[in-house]
Amino acid sequence: MTPLADLLDRLRLRRQPPGRAAAMVGVPAVEPDISAELAPLFDRLDEIDAEAGAIVQAAKSAAVVIERDARLEAERILKQAAREAQIEADRLRRERLRVAELEARTILADARAEAERLRERAAQRTPAVVEDVLELLVRGAG
């Protein structure tokens, strides 16, 4: 039996006589120097600690990659949103310009119609005004 197997065997629960619960028994030292007996356990713990450190380092590296990719994706999304916002702003400007031009055409048409009504009214009143002016001239000359 290897020293590690022997040590683990000594740490196992031992059966008590029937009717009594199992209990931990003492671990007698096989070697006079206990550190020599426990050295394989500490070596294994060092290996486990190194494996854990490697796992943590791999996780940190993966986290860096994930964060970088997330930043790049966020930048891509923001650029896309800016492009879409610009497209929408351009569309709204074109729509407002179209509405303003339509309103301007309506105002001009109304102004032309009003000018035509004023010309017709003036044309209707011109003979009467001319007659009044001539009458004043005739009275003033005579």
Torsions phi, psi of 22, nearest 5?
A: -65, 150
Reduce the DSSP state of residue 1 to 3 states and report it: coil
Residues β-bridged to residue 14 = 23
How far is Cα of residue 12 from the mean position of the Cα atoms in its chain?
Answer: 56
Domain residue spans in the chain?
Answer: 3-11+29-121
77-130 pLDDT, tens digit per residue, is 999 999 999 999 999 999 999 999 999 999 999 999 999 999 999 999 998 888
- CA–CA separation, 35 and 44 (whole Å): 14
What is the predicted pLDDT for the residue at 16?
Answer: 62
Is 31's pLDDT higher than 70?
no
Mean confidence (pLDDT) of the chain: 86
What is the predicted pLDDT for the residue at 129?
Answer: 87
How far is Cα of residue 122 from the mean position of the Cα atoms in its chain?
Answer: 68
DSSP state of 16: P
Of the chain, the percentage scoring pLDDT greater than 70 comes to 78
**The pTM is what?**
0.47
- Residue type, position 124, single letter: Q
